[in-house]
Structure 1
């Protein structure tokens, strides 16, 4: 490689960095990229660019034949980037009201939206033809809960018996054998799912319905001597149920109990319920896990201070072909709903998360996110506290919001948008030292955010710090209940809450 090419490569490595942020800060695979993406890698702290300046000065004076051309390349790079950035129009709730079609128009930096013919999550809507009460949101919550319980059952301690009704005999046998062979494993905890993707779906017109889910997960294995080891894992889980099985009612969707009658797990003896006297295994009444396959398992936790290149920001927005008709259907059901008010709510949540994230204040995040997403954010905040550092996103602002997908059922409306934003993203130690990123260099990025609200709820979205149920000053407990009216407001029954954050490279609909 020539000296010039090597110098240019070094400079590219310095300037091509990505930063941390709420919903897009650290990778579950260990690199500083995004909390819900699968991208890995690490790098040195970016600081404020001092190394870049020193390198340029050294090249100009010591090797002018290389240094001067490199300076020209860098100047062209940053001028071009600035010109591109200026084309991105900032978005605010005070802007002239825009229709959904207007918001979908891409001005910069990405190409025009790409309408996808098939979106995997939308495929599950086919189940509502035979199961009208099926809800994708509740299904995903239930699967999240079931996956976590299976992981905990690997440590034995009687946990396997309580969930046997949800497992195939072969899987239960495999878990039992693993628990017996791993005598040193005392517990599996800190289970945080960073991504959950639908990778297979079949049988909506046959006797059995089958679904395959891929997970990206961090968890901690604790041995009997008290030692801990953090892992990054990708798993695939296959579930099935009888075509005639019906979804759990919303009140039971986030609990594990008898698949038939809802009796507590203590009433189950294997797959036999002592209360309803039914054999409730095999997917007759509820989802049954046939297999759980580990694709990768690596002994590493998240890297809080490394940088990994941003990917996907310039990719087309993935738009479900039914997104616009479905959002119009919401408008017809709820005359108070409009796109500007909804995006105003999204911007309010975006702003609240930035301050709470940088301040490492989990309580300030709680009112605006679902239970599962809150667990993920608390996981990251705790890691920053332990490492005595914090991630900052100064001057964070939304540039544009694109509509991507809309799903509606008898329980929830779910609206997915692609948020383009920018800010100076960096990590500092508690004593003020910049560990990665830059206080002055801003980064443009995009993510897919999914908001949910009860489908029976009507009324304008709130953009103030007040309880969406009673209107009292916002004071929400860590379990999601208003301290004044005691209503649980983080499940979306009263106003839009954020339930998913997905990166460009991992979002599939």
Structure 2
């Protein structure tokens, strides 16, 4: 106990300072009151003599024991952090959209925004774009249920994909899998569009329906939710550089590299294995940059 007490007393004497990046210590272990600290075996002891000193020393020991016991009790009372927070259960959510992925201004007319895009990209086709977005929608949801983030990498921009990957890995650590069963799209509507000097942005609203439940990976048993089909709605924001144009042979949402035309084969950084272009940066073609929930929360 004395050996344990020594370093605490030396620290209380003003010798040690601690920084955020690592621990550094400075100063000595000297004490006032007519005596100096005596080093022995790497510890410092308080030179207390006489009956009074013994009482003080005993009281200090009792105080230290009480403090240690209180700290241990506090640690025991803290809730255990679950391996996967409950708020992440169910369909993927994206509460912190990347700053660069903004919704089109609310005052913008969709027709005006699409006309601005077509002004520098005459081959842009509204219906073909919506069809591509629907394929991207199913790709992302399949990647989620199958826990294959490399699939959604072919659709998602860097920021939102990192959030998607982290949530998938959270499910994997928990030994669970979220199932989106009987998934269907009831409607897909462009609700916003704009083009400026740096980027084109289109927001498309999906009205979808599915059953949403979790299963234990090992047993296959359902552990959350049920097989009832509920409707929900999300706004998906797609962006690209305003210098990009529609490719005759297709681009990222047609699973082709928009730079070299090869079948879309990416590493997890979003770089084409063939031409080494960072095609998921948005500089080459449309990428999914943001998802906002409109209606329907997982429970």
TM-score by length of 1: 0.37
How far apart are the structure 2 equivalents of 1:481 and 1:444? 35
Aligned twin of 1:451: 238
Runs of 4+ in 1 over 6 A off after TM superposition: none
Alignment-derived partner of residue 466 in structure 1:
256
SS at match of 1:342: helix
Cα deviation 1:39-63 (Å, max 9, x = unaligned): xxxxxxxxxxxxxxxxxxxxxxxxx
Residue among 252, 262, 280 paired with 1:490:
280
Matched position secondary structure for 2:129: helix
User: Is 1:501 paired with 2:294?
Assistant: no
Report if aligned partners of 1:404, 1:417 keep a CA contact under 8 Å in 2: yes
Are residue 437 (structure 1) and residue 225 (structure 2) matched?
A: yes
Deviation, 1:33, is 6.0
State the partner residue of 1:381.
Answer: 168
2: CA distance between counterparts of 1:368 and 1:381?
16
Q: 2:178, 2:212 within 8 Å by CA — same for their partners in 1?
A: yes
* Residues 469 and 389 (structure 1), Cα distance of their counterparts in 2 relative to 1, 3 Å cut: same
**Aligned in 2, Cα 1:320/1:391: closer, same or farther, shift over 3 Å?**
farther
2:96 to 173, 181, 195: 195
* Structure 1 residue 332: Cα displacement: 2.3
Q: How far off its partner does 1:352 sit?
A: 1.0
1: distance between equivalents of 2:288 and 2:97? Answer: 16
CA distance in 1, matches of 2:272, 2:119: 30
Q: Which runs of 5+ in 1 are unaligned?
A: 1-26, 38-193, 199-317
Q: 2: distance between equivalents of 1:467 and 1:393?
A: 29
- The superposition leaves residues 443-497 of structure 1 with CA deviations (integer Å, 9 ceiling, x where unpaired) of 1110111000111111255643322222222211111100111001111122211
Q: Return the match for 1:30 from 65, 68, 87.
A: 87
Residue 353 of structure 1 aligns to a residue whose secondary structure is helix
CA offsets 1:378-415 (integer angstroms, 9 cap, x no match): 11011011011111112322211222222322221111
- What stretches of structure 2 of length at least 5 have no aligned partner? 1-83, 100-104
Match of 1:404 in 2: 191
Structure 2 Cα separation of the partners of residues 429 and 329 of structure 1: 49
Paired residues in the alignment total 204
Aligned match of 1:427 in 214, 217, 220?
214
Q: Identify which of structures 1 and 2 has the higher relative contact order when contacts are C-alpha pairs closer than 8 Å and 6+ apart.
A: 1
In structure 2, the residue matched to 1:91 is none
How far residue 421 of structure 1 moved from its aligned partner, in angstroms, is 1.0
- Give the drift of 1:321: 3.8
2: CA distance, partners of 1:477 / 1:390: 24
Distance 1:481 1:442 in 2: 37
Match of 2:43 in 1: none
TM-score of the superposed pair, with normalisation by structure 2: 0.62
Kindly report the root-mean-square deviation, in angstroms, between the aligned alpha carbons of the 2 structures: 2.6
